[in-house]
């Protein structure tokens, strides 16, 4: 395929890598044979393979592609991609779908295919040959999974692309998945349990991903077995405090199965992640507030739907307060009471400060407040649920004031306007294994399946809020897939899983129509796959075989 990747381009992808402490080898030769004919060249290529996960995960575009357009998120004040947030005018010319999903994934696959062709020559039967092959085959499988889940039938080949290729095939997902399973099983069989380079895949990562794809393809018994292995065999443990997962100081915590390692100096991570800004409301527009590092530099691209916020038991579930910022404290010149507002307050004096530096300046609450609980009866600005969302339609009334997702914020950035973050990006967390078991067992054995209830509750035991009631978090059954999806929303909101979860369960259209009023009138059944980039359609010569996905 013309834009799939000319083979020489793979030589340029090795400069950055998943673990930035790995040695880099940059041979002077300009041909594939010169680069990948030695063990050092293979290492360079493997390091390059990891760069392609960084292009999507942790980036603003990745959050638009994998979180927006679901039941959980809609457009904030400065949403600039309505085609992805609400499906209006989603077309085959979408630059993000082309560059971040299609081109990036095919470039990754092509580099993996290229490396695998040189393993015999470069590594022979050295003791670590299978280890390195397993690593490459896993990364190829990961991108095949993303491609086929995103686009359905796709161009599939295990041969490197050399030069310009204009003939493409449409290979069904079940055929692609057959190779994905082979590659991931090879990885499980040959990778070490652990490795010294944090961020590189190991056996635990491969087994966790196998659990995910087994669940996706309805192999429920194997999904349970694989997920249990991850929980029991590799030393992972659920965090006792959900909030501990999100601080930079604790990013290498006991729940992380696989992460993209970021450099400790944000500017060296390249390209601008912007994820730390994407979900933040523009608090600086309110009295007494200016942009600073603790509160972040808001882009206000995405905001939570009313439905997402309604899923949380705020009293008992620690994930609400740990996920969302709802209060902002004065860090700028305090406002003064006007004569009119002071009179309405009854206890204030015109001309005096309404609050001081460090005092509460702005608050959002997911409750209905009385007039006595709002300004000017209180000195700070406060927005209740009916100020933020229409009480009937649930359409956002304010895209300026809303709960800000704070999972991706980074308190260590050198300046508030920094576009990169030193914070690692989690690709697989241990909590997912608990919910994989719960979902798979529910599918096999019904709502009261022993594993379904046990593992669901085991996760929830670690998500009880300080002072919360553990009994209120416990369930007696796991009734259906919607129950699981609600829990996955509470656990993984904003972690680039939601679109894929809804696609996997066949619930994308139903739940968007039910819970995302901005998108409900636009989304159609054909939106369960993305449009193949028009540039690809234009460039192939076998247009009768390689066609656009329907209705795009």
Residue 532: band (very low, low, confident or very high) from pLDDT cuts 50, 70, 90: very high
Buried b (16+ CB within 10 A) or exposed e, 347-385: ebeeeebbbeeeebbbbbbbeebeeeebbbbbbbbbbbb
Tell me what the mean pLDDT of segment 270-292 comes to.
Answer: 93
Whether 152 has a pLDDT exceeding 80, the answer reads yes
Is the torsion defined by CA of 518, 522, 528, 529 positive or negative?
negative
User: What's residue 439's pLDDT?
Assistant: 98
Domain ranges of the chain: 262-423
| Strand ranges inside 262-372, DSSP E | 302-304, 324-325, 327-329, 360-364
Tell me what the mean pLDDT of segment 1-11 comes to.
Answer: 36
Residue 272: band (very low, low, confident or very high) from pLDDT cuts 50, 70, 90: confident
Q: Dmax of the chain from CA atoms?
A: 85
Whether 263 has a pLDDT exceeding 90, the answer reads no
**How many Cβ atoms from other residues are within 10 Å of residue 78's Cβ?**
13
Residue in 450, 429, 435, 452 with CA at minimum distance from that of residue 487: 435
Query: Would you say 329 and 361 are in contact if contact means Cβ atoms under 8 Å apart?
Result: yes
> Is the peptide bond prior to 376 cis by the omega test (within 30 degrees of 0)?
yes
Whether 9 has a pLDDT exceeding 90, the answer reads no
What does the alpha-carbon distance between residue 438 and residue 20 come to, in Å, rounded to a whole number? 36
Residue 235's alpha-carbon distances to 35, 196, 456, 533, in angstroms, are 38, 15, 20, 42
Instruction: Provide the residue count of the chain.
Output: 552
Strands 425-429 and 256-260: antiparallel
Residue 80's alpha-carbon distances to 84, 127, 300, in angstroms, are 9, 51, 10
- Least confident span in 32-36, 155-159, 232-236: 32-36
Q: In the predicted model, what is the mean pLDDT of the chain?
A: 93
What are the tokens at 481?
């897939």
Q: Which residue has the tokens 């409301």?
A: 281
Using DSSP's 3-state secondary structure scheme, residue 483 falls into helix
Whether 519 has a pLDDT exceeding 80, the answer reads yes
Tell me what the mean pLDDT of segment 141-160 comes to.
Answer: 97
User: What's residue 21's pLDDT?
Assistant: 30
What does the alpha-carbon distance between residue 363 and residue 380 come to, in Å, rounded to a whole number? 8
Using DSSP's 3-state secondary structure scheme, residue 259 falls into strand
Buried b (16+ CB within 10 A) or exposed e, 322-343: bbbbbebbbbeebbebeeebbe
Is the torsion defined by CA of 437, 442, 444, 446 positive or negative?
positive
User: What's residue 6's pLDDT?
Assistant: 32
User: What's residue 23's pLDDT?
Assistant: 31
What does the alpha-carbon distance between residue 337 and residue 341 come to, in Å, rounded to a whole number? 6
């Amino acid at each position: 395929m013309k834009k799939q990747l000319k083979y020489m381009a793979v030589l340029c992808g090795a400069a950055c890598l998943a673990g930035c402490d790995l040695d880099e080898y940059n041979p002077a030769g300009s041909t594939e044979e010169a680069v990948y004919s030695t063990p050092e060249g293979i290492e360079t290529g493997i390091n390059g393979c990891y760069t392609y996960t960084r292009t999507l995960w942790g980036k603003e575009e990745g959050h638009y592609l994998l979180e927006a357009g679901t039941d959980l998120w809609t457009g904030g004040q400065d949403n600039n991609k309505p085609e992805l947030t609400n499906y209006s005018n989603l077309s085959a010319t979408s630059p993000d779908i082309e560059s971040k999903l299609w081109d990036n994934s095919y470039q990754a696959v092509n580099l993996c295919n290229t490396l695998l062709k040189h393993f015999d020559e470069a590594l022979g039967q050295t003791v670590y040959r299978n280890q390195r092959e397993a690593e490459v085959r896993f990364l190829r499988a990961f991108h095949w999974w993303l491609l086929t889940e995103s686009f359905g039938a796709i161009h599939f080949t295990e041969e490197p692309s050399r030069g310009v290729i204009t003939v493409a095939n449409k290979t069904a997902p079940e055929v692609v998945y057959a190779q994905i399973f082979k590659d991931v099983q090879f990885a499980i069989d040959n990778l070490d349990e652990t490795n010294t380079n944090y961020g590189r895949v190991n056996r635990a990562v491969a087994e966790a991903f196998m659990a995910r794809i087994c669940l996706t393809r309805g192999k429920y018994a194997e999904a349970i077995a694989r997920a249990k292995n991850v929980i029991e065999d590799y030393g992972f443990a659920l965090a006792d405090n959900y909030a501990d997962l999100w601080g930079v100081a604790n990013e290498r915590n006991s729940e992380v199965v696989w992460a993209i390692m970021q450099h400790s100096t944000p500017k060296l991570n390249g390209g601008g992640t912007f994820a730390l800004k994407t979900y933040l409301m523009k608090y600086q527009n309110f009295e007494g507030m200016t942009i600073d590092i603790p509160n972040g530099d808001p882009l206000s691209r995405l905001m939570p739907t009313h439905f997402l916020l309604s899923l949380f038991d705020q009293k008992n579930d620690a994930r609400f307060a740990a996920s969302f910022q709802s209060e902002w404290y004065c860090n700028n010149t305090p406002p003064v009471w006007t004569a009119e507002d002071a009179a309405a307050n009854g206890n204030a004096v015109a001309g005096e400060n309404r609050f001081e530096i460090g005092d509460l300046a702005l608050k959002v609450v997911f409750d209905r407040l009385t007039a006595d609980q709002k300004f000017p009866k209180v000195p700070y600005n406060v927005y209740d649920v009916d100020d933020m969302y229409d009480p009937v339609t649930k359409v956002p009334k304010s895209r300026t004031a809303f709960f800000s997702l704070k999972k991706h914020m980074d308190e260590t950035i050198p300046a508030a306007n920094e576009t990169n973050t030193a914070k690692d990006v989690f690709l697989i967390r241990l909590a997912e294994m608990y919910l994989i078991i719960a979902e798979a067992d529910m599918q096999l054995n019904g709502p009261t399946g022993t594993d379904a209830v046990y593992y669901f509750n085991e996760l929830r035991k670690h998500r009880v809020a300080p002072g919360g009631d553990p009994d209120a978090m416990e369930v007696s059954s796991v009734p259906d897939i919607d129950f699981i999806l609600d829990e996955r929303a509470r656990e993984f909101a904003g972690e680039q899983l939601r679109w894929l979860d809804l696609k996997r369960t066949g619930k994308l259209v139903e739940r968007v129509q039910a819970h995302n009023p901005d998108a409900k009138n636009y989304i159609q059944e054909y939106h369960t796959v993305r449009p193949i980039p028009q540039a690809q359609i234009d460039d192939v010569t076998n247009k009768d075989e390689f066609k656009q996905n329907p209705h795009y």
